[in-house]
Structure 1
Amino acid sequence: MSAGKCEVCLEEKPKLVNCGRCGDRKYCGAVCQRKDWPTHKYSCQPKKQPSWILKITIPDSREPQIHRTIVCPDGATFEQLHYAIQIAFGWANKHSYDFVARDPTAEERPVEDIMALMKRRAAQDNGEQRDFGPRQNFIRIVNPNDHKMADSLHSYDRRHSQTPEKKADKVYIGEQFNKKEWKSAEWEYMYDHGDNWGHEIEIIGRGKIDDAFKCTEGNGHGIAEDAGSMPGWEDLKNAYRAAKPTDEQKEKMHWFENMASNFDPEGLKGRENFVDLDVINSLLTSNIE
């Protein structure tokens, strides 16, 4: 509260209260604030909050480990964060995705035997949503266009009847990262529910108020889309490392340089750590609204 003139009664008061939503309008008290709301609500915009600084890592990647540091606006949706991750890591945005807030105290899910897997598939075919083990996540934030993706069938494996689901285009970053109920949550972004490219999201701080995504640091060339999970990516790296590549390795390199969804005509030779922040930030600016 601070000294000044009330926006409604125009009386000068030693202490005024700001509108709790936008922080711009000043009132002598609740009576004047309620009186002003029918008019003020049309111009009242939520007060902008500092951006989130996120370190996003593909933990299964090795030599080098692939990671990016992204500045994310507080008011961005998780769908916009998805696009930012796709750009920063060089993915081709051809598969489904989700975000989960993992509960670090959850019991581990037992490994399914073949009979349990068959029962779960049968239940899914019948439209049932069953537990098949303890709940793992506080929330699952899903691709709003999941039904259009070729790998949508695998999304069933990530559902749980006790885990609420929300669509990524309707959920805001600050709203979720600020939740006291799951302050201990471990955030994960999963891309391609067939190859399962997991990304750990670590909140490392807050930045200035900003409406734009930025990538400030990174390491490791983006992984080839549809490489065949991490073993396939390792095979591709080994092909480029080979002094005398076999015919099979030459085919892999040709595929990556010419045919992969996110192909790179320059290949990986001597470029395994390559990250072009200028290109990434140019794409973030021009592709995310």
Structure 2
Amino acid sequence: MPLGQVHQVLQAAFGWEDAHLHRFVTSDPFAPLRPVDSAMPEAHQWLPGTKCEEPGDRPEEDCSLDQLLALGSGAAFYEYDFGDSWLHRLDLVSRRPADKDCPPALLIDGARRGPLEDSGGFPGYEDIMEALADPSHPDHGDHASWVAGITGSEEPFDPAYLHIPP
């Protein structure tokens, strides 16, 4: 699967709107770098071709998920929204032959719904969830209105709910 398609699959799985930059890397971008032979290794990242600006940037259009996984140690990372820094580890769990009658990706299981777009990363999302859970919280009303605008629903937001289509 081309990296651009992996990006679209992850956007759909998390309910995001592709409103921010993203990148793929072969190692955890937040892990400390260790020098190799007294030099810092060049970190490569795969971005949409139009966003490649640095020497280590590679166009995602030229790479597939299996190629990216082979470059790392069996895992790769996807980061979305560099301000919120939603970081996802991608691991190969199993392989199956492509079937033209089946979609290229299918959500089969999960624990919770994805965090809301533009919610401020882990700290911001936790603050929003805390305020929503407590009607007496001073920010409850503001956050409830913001969530309704993002989700398009006045229904109470349940972070544990995950809709898996049949």
Q: Same fold (TM over 0.5)?
A: yes
Deviation per CA, 1:235-282, whole angstroms, max 9, x where unpaired? 111112114232x22101101111x3xx241342xx22111121xx8x
Partners of 1:254 and 1:277 in 2: CA distance: 26
**1:86 to 2:15 alignment:** no
- Name the CA shift for 1:135/1:186 in 2 (closer, same or farther; >3 Å): farther
Q: TM-score, normalised by structure 1?
A: 0.48
The code of the aligned residue for 2:140 comes to: Q
**1:207 to 2:111 alignment:** no
Partners of 2:16 and 2:42 in 1: CA distance: 27
2:40 to 111, 134, 156: 134
- Name the CA shift for 1:275/1:216 in 2 (closer, same or farther; >3 Å): same
**1:250 to 2:141 alignment:** yes
State the superposition RMSD in angstroms. Answer: 2.8
Partners of 1:99 and 1:267 in 2: CA distance: 34
Structure 1: stretches of 5+ with no match in the other structure: 1-75, 111-132, 148-155, 282-289
Aligned length: 157
Corresponding residue of 1:221: 113
Partners of 1:100 and 1:242 in 2: CA distance: 38
Contact 2:84–2:120, Cα closer than 8 Å, also in 1: yes
- Name the CA shift for 1:94/1:190 in 2 (closer, same or farther; >3 Å): same
What's the CA shift for 1:204?
A: 1.2
- Name the CA shift for 1:95/1:183 in 2 (closer, same or farther; >3 Å): closer
Corresponding residue of 1:167: 59
Partners of 2:87 and 2:67 in 1: CA distance: 23
What's the CA shift for 1:205?
A: 1.4
Structure 2: stretches of 5+ with no match in the other structure: none
- Name the CA shift for 1:183/1:144 in 2 (closer, same or farther; >3 Å): closer
Contact 2:74–2:91, Cα closer than 8 Å, also in 1: no
- Name the CA shift for 1:275/1:142 in 2 (closer, same or farther; >3 Å): same
Partners of 1:228 and 1:166 in 2: CA distance: 27
Contact 1:102–1:185, Cα closer than 8 Å, also in 2: no
Contact 2:3–2:63, Cα closer than 8 Å, also in 1: yes
Partners of 2:41 and 2:142 in 1: CA distance: 43
Corresponding residue of 1:273: 160
Q: Secondary structure at the match of 1:141?
A: strand
Corresponding residue of 1:241: 133
The code of the aligned residue for 1:176 comes to: L
Corresponding residue of 1:232: 124
- Name the CA shift for 1:201/1:77 in 2 (closer, same or farther; >3 Å): same
Q: Secondary structure at the match of 2:92?
A: strand
Corresponding residue of 1:108: 32
- In terms of Rg, which structure is larger? 1
What's the CA shift for 1:87?
A: 0.2
Contact 1:108–1:136, Cα closer than 8 Å, also in 2: no
Contact 1:102–1:136, Cα closer than 8 Å, also in 2: no
Deviation per CA, 1:129-176, whole angstroms, max 9, x where unpaired? xxxx82374x421123438xxxxxxxx7xx5x5x4x321223222333
The code of the aligned residue for 2:60 comes to: A
**1:188 to 2:69 alignment:** no
Q: TM-score, normalised by structure 2?
A: 0.80
Partners of 2:16 and 2:80 in 1: CA distance: 9
